[in-house]
Structure 1
């Protein structure tokens, strides 16, 4: 065995941490190559152009695609609509997930907590399209929602942006419940008892004790719901009616104008990076 190889083997044997790092280096390198490499190719292709007559991609460097995405009112409207839907889904998931997770972690009997957790996570085993089309049946006129709300004077919202928000909120809710449940389950009972002994009312205990401690979990869940909603395009095709999101615009341009689709794809990537940077500046992710 060559001397450099023997020295490396000896160092790995003496330092387990170094051995673990060596074992993880190959998967990490592949992850960086596959993920960052694909983003680099995406950004590179956005500077190319498409021949209007032959539809062939020409490697002519220009910024026309970015100028069209930034200046065309259609793209600006779709971007704002997508951002609004992602924010609405994240807020609704947080409002729904917090009482669910609190009941599961602090109120339910210990023997029932795992059953409730399984009940929350079970929808993840169902197919995405199955759940989306199930909501299509419920939201359609004459569907389940009309049957339930009809006697009370209500009706289904039909297809459109409200339907997209409802379906995405349902789809991504488990991703918000799980981190909140974990954080609330680990919340020390002594802190809640101390707050009560000091005369704090339940709302004061929630805002001053519970919320600051579970804030990292809440933000972690919001990263999932926000990013997944921002990149979704199948739900809006099924229940969105005539509405479109950035994913639909990208999908429709992939076969017709790949460089323009690449330039459009940079918008959700930048939005997600901006959201992660904003979250990082709050310091909430340091305690995850």
Structure 2
């Protein structure tokens, strides 16, 4: 049977406008993909991007200091309030915490991901994925409140330090200015530990995926040329895995930057950006200032994503 006859036998034309339209869509893969993506694109564009644009518009309004009513006139006064020392401290505190969590997550995730990429095989690799993903299966609030109990002055961590006769060490750490406090549960150090635990899986997976693509022959070739293990890591392995690290940092940095639940439960009374948005929108009723605070992480992440794209991070997602 010739090719045209065989195709005719397989794709018999159907009667009816709807049937012909379906046949035409199937024969044009690009149109088929476009129609499949169109609903979610419309939803994203109308609901998500539309909400962001409305929020951005609100940030150019201001609130009347006497009446508390929003004045719907274009002004940059609200953005000027972000430069006040109190609000600027909130922004710097949040960015520093996000940067510290991201850096620590990268340091911890790299050896774990390297072991999984190089040595874990078969059931051990499956066990690795289960171990990494298992914390993500439990409730976010349950994990945070569990850490609140662990880090409390009467918690299990203090009990372990007491049993090891290392209470003096914990007290010395808590006595450090800025990061310390009465206990880990009301300190920046405790907030940092909880952030690190919650977002660490989002760093491990991209780094492991990037290391999987690095051929072991490259490190072996570097060793054959006389490179030490440290030189092989610094000059071969780490540069090739760096896009995965940057990709993971997108998750850890952005999620820490916008989180308001962890600092609300674990930490002292000083606000982060997420808490400032929640407070200004709810308790204070200052919607323009809340919107301006929301624009800050959007701008920061926009710059961060631009730099990550330049480093090829999206290739490791």
Within a 5 Å distance, the mapping from 1:133-152 to structure 2 comes to 133-150=145-162, 151-152=165-166
* 2:101 match: 89
Q: Which stretch of the first structure deviates more once superposed, 207-216 or 81-90?
A: 207-216
Instruction: Give ranges in structure 1 of 5+ residues lacking alignment.
Output: none
Matching residue of 2:5:
none
Q: Tell me by how many angstroms 1:73 deviates.
A: 0.6
Q: Cα offset for 1:186?
A: 3.3
1:163–1:179 CA distance, 2 compared to 1 (3 A): same
Which residue of structure 2 lines up, in the alignment, with residue 282 of structure 1? Answer: 311
Quick check: 1:211 aligned with 2:211? no
Q: CA RMSD in A?
A: 2.2
Return 60-69 or 244-253, whichever deviates more.
Answer: 60-69
Is 1:154 aligned to 2:183, yes or no? no
Q: How do residues 148-227 of structure 1 correspond to structure 2 at under 5 angstroms?
A: 148-150=160-162, 151-152=165-166, 153-155=168-170, 157=174, 158=184, 159-227=186-254
Match of 2:130 among 118, 135, 143: 118
TM-score normalized with structure 1 length: 0.90
Deviation (angstroms), 1:238: 1.0
Contact 1:180 1:218 in 2 (8 A): yes
Deviation at 1:168, TM superposition (A): 0.3
Question: CA–CA distance in 1 between the matches of 2:243 and 2:24?
Answer: 38
Map of 1:97-112 to 2, 5 A cutoff? 97-112=109-124
Shift of 1:155: 2.3
Deviations 1:26-61 (A, max 9, x none): 211221222221111001111223344554434233
Instruction: Supply the distance in 2 between the matched residues of 1:98 and 1:235 (Cα, whole angstroms).
Output: 25
Aligned partner of 1:17 in structure 2 is 30
3-state secondary structure, aligned to 1:108: coil
Number of equivalenced pairs: 284
Question: Secondary structure at 2:271's aligned position in 1?
Answer: coil
1:263: how far off? 1.3
Calculate the TM-score normalised by the size of structure 2: 0.82
Pairing partner for 1:234 from 261, 265, 269: 261
- For the pair 1:258 / 2:287, whether they are aligned, the reply is yes
Q: Would the aligned equivalents of 2:209 and 2:316 in 1 still touch at CA under 8 Å? A: no
Cα distance in structure 2, aligned partners of 1:211 and 1:132: 33
Identify which range, 107-116 or 278-287, moves more after superposition. 278-287
Match of 1:31 in 2: 44
Counterpart among 115, 123, 143 of residue 131 in structure 1: 143
Structure-2 separation of matches of 1:273 and 1:96? 26
Q: Provide the C-alpha distance between the structure 1 equivalents of 2:26 and 2:137, rounded to a whole number of angstroms.
A: 42
Deviation at 1:11, TM superposition (A): 5.5
C-alpha separation between the residues in 2 aligned to 1:107 and 1:253? 50
